[in-house]
Copies of this chain bind each other. A is one copy, B any other.
């Protein structure tokens, strides 16, 4: 692997957890433009006639320093004048769009109506927000996560926001996925990366749709990069979101080994949380070794403090992941600051 030329760092990401890791990486890299984020768009939906991309926006707002840490979505300090007026007009207000956030949806919708690709639209939004890492939708085609529950087939935002992710999940479906393609930009970001990082996002509804785009897993298997996944589960729980409940609903054990198994066809290293200690590490190792990875490599297990409760925590995990990647022979981008030891 040492002969491999240094390339970029490409992250597969959903919303909040991924956004924090990407923000940490952007903070520790001397040149954040070596960073590319491939983002889930199966949460996208249409409200008030507007195309809304929740995960893309969480990534953009986080990298722009605009994200609301309290809410986990939207823009810090945003106002609610339009939303209150929409309520007065009888529109449901459970999906809370702030006034500044609304402009993002208006701009995206207007540009898409002009016939632009979502990829190009996101590039324009990112440029306006001075976001230096490249933010890429997983595909330009519409894909929609539908959650099967006892209450019926629920659009993702209805399951997640309106009903608070309380319905036991019986199945997950990505409508439109068969017609989706990784964009040329996505394929290039996988082909030219030194390190591909799967963020600690929900493996079923954030990373799952990305991997379900036809051709995406093949591109990951064929990528020359070292492929590292960070666990979204610590101590048997997800930092945020219904990962555990969803995994159980689908009959999966809700543990890091089961997450790692979802990635095992392309994975090189799975990063566990140090809190889960050696016992979890050996379970994950056995699970991964039960089916060896591509090119004869057997996925390995590493540990790091994966909890990102503040900006320092984001950069600590970013450095740790880069250090793990370097320790496994990945040439880091020349612009990368030398990773310091995790604090």
Contact = CB atoms under 8 A, between A and B. Distances in A.
A85 interface: yes
Interface string A87-108: 0111100000011101110110
A163 to B, nearest CB: 23
A165 interface: no
Interface in A120-167: 124-125, 128-129
A125 B99 CA distance: 20
Nearest to A107: B89
Contacts of A90: 124, 128
A100 B124 CA distance: 26
B91 A48 contact: no
Interface in A65-114: 78-79, 81-86, 88-91, 98-100, 102-104, 106-107, 109-110, 113
A110 B48 contact: yes
A265 to B, nearest CB: 40
A296 interface: no
Contacts of A83: 103
Contact of A49 (B49, B79, B104): B49
Contact of A103 (B78, B82, B98, B124): B82
Interface string A287-329: 0000000000000000000000000000000000000000000
Label chain A's interface by main secondary structure: helix
Nearest to A99: B81
B49 A89 contact: no
B107 A82 contact: no
A49 B110 contact: yes
A170 to B, nearest CB: 32
Nearest to A78: B81
A8 to B, nearest CB: 27
A125 B125 CA distance: 32
Nearest to A90: B128
A52 B103 CA distance: 16
Kindly name the residue among A107, A124, A129 whose own CB sees the greatest number of chain B CB atoms within 10 A.
A107
Contacts of A78: 81
A140 B79 CA distance: 34
Kindly name the residue among A50, A85, A128 whose own CB sees the greatest number of chain B CB atoms within 10 A.
A85
A343 to B, nearest CB: 35
A106 B84 CA distance: 13
A103 B89 contact: yes
Nearest 9 Cβ contacts at the A-B interface: A85-B103, A81-B99, A89-B107, A99-B99, A82-B103, A85-B100, A86-B103, A82-B99, A89-B128
29 contacts: A48-B110, A49-B106, A49-B110, A49-B113, A50-B106, A78-B81, A79-B81, A81-B98, A81-B99, A81-B100, A81-B103, A82-B82, A82-B100, A82-B102, A82-B103, A84-B100, A85-B99, A85-B100, A86-B103, A86-B106, A86-B107, A88-B128, A89-B104, A89-B124, A89-B125, A89-B128, A90-B124, A99-B102, A102-B102
Given A81-B100, A85-B103, A89-B125, 17 more contacts: A48-B110, A49-B106, A49-B110, A79-B79, A79-B81, A81-B98, A81-B99, A82-B99, A84-B100, A85-B99, A85-B104, A86-B107, A88-B128, A89-B128, A90-B128, A99-B99, A102-B102
